[in-house]
Chains A and B, each alone.
Chain A
Amino acid sequence: DGGITQSPKYLFRKEGQNVTLSCEQNLNHDAMYWYRQDPGQGLRLIYYSQIVNDFQKGDIAEGYSVSREKKESFPLTVTSAQKNPTAFYLCASCIDRNSYNEQFFGPGTRLTVL
């Protein structure tokens, strides 16, 4: 089955630690995105990548980093510089990097900082 996967589903980390969230897709999609969702809030764009080896900052990139070494993978690192990292993190992909189309989401990772 084609799809987009994220792991882990739940993640706990201590303050001051970096943590990496995994996102993998086997849909052969060019574009991938990371969003963050806080309770009662809309999704906010962290980073996006329209092609391998290229990525761009979104609206709230501070304290985060990404890489796109393979088309299938777009991991997100939440660094200790992120002031309020507890949130629901959603990864998405889209078949076309040149037009607005349906974005397919992974099941998300709930990060809690203790």
Chain B
Amino acid sequence: RKEVEQDPGPFNVPEGATVAFNCTYSNSASQSFFWYRQDCRKEPKLLMSVYSSGNEDGRFTAQLNRASQYISLLIRDSKLSDSATYLCVVPHQAGTALIFGKGTTLSVSS
């Protein structure tokens, strides 16, 4: 299993739809997980941190399944502005660096 793996998509959904992304990771000892958002040709920005079983922030819910070693991101009531690439991020063994997945691309249309 790769260190972190995501379905690259693209996911094309209409406004108002609910969409979910999954991410698998290989290091069973990992304790901290993150979802970052990256807009086209921009730097990544933190969307959510996941330290326990899950986290919810408005329309966004992140869940962690340690037994199966996967993390999911659920977006409800999709907005046009949600169109971006979503990066699944897990701890690196080098200091406190992070390992970034290749990202899942979401395109929300009207």
Contacts and interface: CB of A to CB of B under 8 A. Distances in A.
B67 to A, nearest CB: 21
Contacts of B59: none
B96 A97 contact: yes
Contacts of B58: none
Contacts of A45: 92, 94, 97, 99
Interface stretch (A11-19, A63-71, A74-82, A104-112): A104-112
Interface string B19-59: 00000000000011010000001111110010000000000
B100 A97 contact: no
A31 B97 CA distance: 9
Interface in A39-81: 40-43, 45, 48, 50, 56, 58-59
Interface string B86-110: 0100011011111111110000000
Q: Interface centre among B45, B95, B102, B103, by most A CB within 10 Å?
A: B95
B44 A50 contact: no
25 contacts: A42-B87, A42-B100, A43-B44, A43-B87, A45-B97, A48-B94, A48-B97, A56-B94, A58-B94, A58-B97, A59-B94, A90-B43, A94-B96, A97-B96, A99-B32, A100-B31, A100-B32, A100-B96, A101-B96, A102-B49, A103-B46, A103-B98, A105-B43, A105-B44, A107-B42
